[in-house]
Amino acid sequence: MNKFIKITIIFILSSSFLFANGSNEENTQTNIAPSTNTEIIQENMNNLAYLYQVVDALSINEIDNDKALEGMASGLLDSLGDEYSFYVSEEDAESYEEQSTGIYAGIGTYLTKKNPKVIDDKDTKENTDYYIKISSPFPGGPADRAGLKANDYITQIDGEPVDYLSATEASLKLRGEAGTDVVVTILRGSKSFDIKLTRELVETPSTTKAVIKNHIGYIQINQFTAITTEQFIEDFQSLLDQNIDSLIIDLRNNRGGIVDSALNIADLFLSGDTILITEQKETIPNNTQITKANTQTMVPNDFEVVLLVNGGTASSSEILTGALKDNDRALVIGSKTFGKGIMQQTFPFGKGFVQFTIAHYLTPDSIDIHEIGIEPDILIEEEVFEDDEIPIFEELMESNKIEKFVDNNPEYSYENIEKFAYEIDNEELNRNALLVLVRNEYLVRMDYDDRPKYDLYLDKALVEAVEQLEK
């Protein structure tokens, strides 16, 4: 259902975040305007061709032409000084393409990091730009169950510093055979701790649906893929058939995906409203584009909608959030979103891939969210262990107390979850964060289809959403 007015370029997320696990991606093409630097480009190409010929003619060593091309491509993209612009070599191309399958063996994290070649202050050890940032843990994955959060930093993988690894290289180190272990060193605030995670083979679902309290629809969108719009429409229609009168859309830890999917879903709720403002390079004709919704909607205007967001809500998810929030079409509940307001283009080049930033986007109210994020209408912070609780948390994870407890108490129930907290009896730990860890251990042992689709026991943001819709 492609109802929204087309803009001149088909935007995609590409791999603007590189990560240990998979997400659907899509190549795109755009019209190339004449360069304003044609003479300089030609001069540089002539000089490079001359150097290439001289080295080829006089060097006693043979040129590896593939590596030479990769080096030239890398140098060009590194010169942009942009953390999201880089060349993916032939060596890494296979894993880059694997990221589009949605199936992987890893720890379940979406990662981002500045290109190490453009990081300033290389002698500053406290510079977190050198570390791998978790943009979001995949719901139900090993990292999520262990309590890792968006904006945690990975500083070491199996004892090896990540300072000069790209996000792609780090993701390769985190991947491996399902069932094998990897130790990651996490920096959260001022505290650092090690945690051992077991890699799993995970297939990422696009959407999940449920009915809450017999009248509230719930759809969780885990990522935006080529089929997410179709799945969302099917889910929504199924919920309508069950007589829902309102809807909760859960975008927490959705790090993005194909932008068109987010635009299509926003269009289902909006009538002629602005969905997105996009700004390309100034030298491109008509560089500012406004994407508007069609006048027809699938969801009636009087149908109440709540969006759930957190620090792992990024990119395409923020496009949907901004579109519905700025047009007063949804109430946003949770914590501040990630803050990625730029778009990349990716395409094969040589035996690898190139990616670079092509556009900057604003929400319908012309708000720039890049590196800022979207503030929710109602703030509900996620449960995390604070700095002074980290040593106790680390000891808890190393001792496998949670796994042993679930082994001895295999029935999933709130009573058993509470029982564990009672047995630990440590007033220094955030009790709710502890209960979430126990719940997650129970959930991972269930078949995916048997897991509860929502939690009105520990999920404070969801509880608030339900309360708002029942007012």
Outline where DSSP puts E strands in 225-299: 246-250, 274-279, 288-292
What tokens were used for 413? Answer: 């129930």
The residue with greater pLDDT, 397 or 233, is: 233
CA 412, distance to chain mean position in Å, is: 29
> Cα(52)–Cα(75) distance, rounded to whole angstroms?
15
pLDDT of residue 3: 41
pLDDT of residue 283: 87
Give the pTM: 0.75
Question: How many CB atoms within 10 Å of residue 149?
Answer: 20
Percent of the chain with pLDDT strictly greater than 70: 86
For the segment 354-373, what is each residue's pLDDT rounded down to a tens digit?
989 999 999 999 999 999 99
Pairing assessment for the beta strands 246-250 and 304-309 based on DSSP bridges: parallel
- Lowest-pLDDT choice from 125-134, 263-272, 321-330, 335-344: 125-134
- Is a pLDDT exceeding 60 seen at residue 2? no
The residue with greater pLDDT, 6 or 166, is: 166
> Cα(195)–Cα(147) distance, rounded to whole angstroms?
10
Give the burial string for 49-66 (b: 16+ CB within 10 Å, else e).
eeeeeeeeeeeeeeeeee
> Cα(176)–Cα(316) distance, rounded to whole angstroms?
28
- Is a pLDDT exceeding 80 seen at residue 21? no
For the segment 304-327, what is each residue's pLDDT rounded down to a tens digit?
999 999 999 999 999 999 999 999
Question: For the residues 63-85, what does the mean pLDDT come to?
Answer: 91
CB-CB contact of 325 with 270 (8 Å) = no
- Is a pLDDT exceeding 60 seen at residue 123? no
- The residues that bridge with 104 in the sheet, in sequence order, are 202
> 173-179 long-range contacts, Cβ below 8 Å, gap at least 24?
174/20, 174/106, 174/107, 174/109, 174/111, 174/199, 175/20, 175/95, 175/104, 175/105, 175/106, 175/199, 176/105, 176/106, 177/105, 178/105
- Is a pLDDT exceeding 50 seen at residue 28? no
- Is a pLDDT exceeding 90 seen at residue 101? no
